[in-house]
Amino acid sequence: MDNLNRYIEHTLLKQDAKKEDLVKLFEEAKNNKFLGVCVNPCYVKLAKEYLKDSDVKVVTVIGFPLGANTTETKIFETINAIKDGADEIDMVINVTKVKDLETDFLIDEITQIKKACQGHILKVIIETDLLSYEEIKYACECAVKGGADFVKTSTGFVKGGVGAKVEDVELMYNTVKDFGLKVKASGGIRDKETAINMIKAGATRLGTSSGLKIMA
């Protein structure tokens, strides 16, 4: 596959990342013409400054990594991130609310955050490692009803978690494809073969910290 770089959101969300690590990420993204970078909210301004002369998108995470912030907090984070220059928002769904089937809460939260995105793309991280087949489908259906643009597999922060799995990506794709939503596979994508398998399963975005290895 010749254009793998255009699927990749080059990602650095580690708690102990230094500024020099982030700058290196930005340079790698520019040099490889990756679709985007994904960084924590406090580094959105930094990313925007370093990437201002490129077409690399700045993606950030909201309610990360647990998704258990109040809706009001997530909305504030989103508005602030857009103000700082974020091009896209990846929000973590409230997994407890998914398991308790609190449909109205989930749809309302996603709807409000999508509004706060002010026209920018919203991806909903559903954390597949913690969900059953039916719960994955249900979370995707809530994302559809809430007006999201993407569903995303994972934060990559679940202890012992696998991250993106081909069968989960296929399920997510088949659940949302008829409603215009897309799928971002994230977590555990560390080589070219895995990346290509995720794309074949329906993913149009890959969140990975192994972009250089995938492109090698």
Distance CA 76, CA 51 (A): 24
90 is catalytic: yes
Contacts of 92 (CB under 8 A, 6+ apart): 61, 62, 63, 64, 65, 66, 67, 125, 127, 155
Give the pair of three-digit tokens for residue 80. Answer: 């602030």
In Å, what is the CA distance from 155 to each residue of 55, 64, 70, 149, 208?
24, 8, 18, 17, 10
Question: Residue 150: helix, strand or coil by DSSP?
Answer: strand
Nearest residue to 61 (alpha-carbon basis) of 46, 40, 85: 40
Distance CA 121, CA 148 (A): 8
Which residue among the candidates 114, 152, 165, 182 is catalytic per the annotation? 152
184 is catalytic: yes
User: Residue 39 is which amino acid?
Assistant: V
Which residue among the candidates 87, 90, 149, 168 is catalytic per the annotation? 90
* Sign for the pseudo-dihedral over CA of 165, 4, 213, 36: negative
55 is catalytic: no
Give the pair of three-digit tokens for residue 59. Answer: 């993606």
Please give the positions annotated as active site: 90, 152, 184
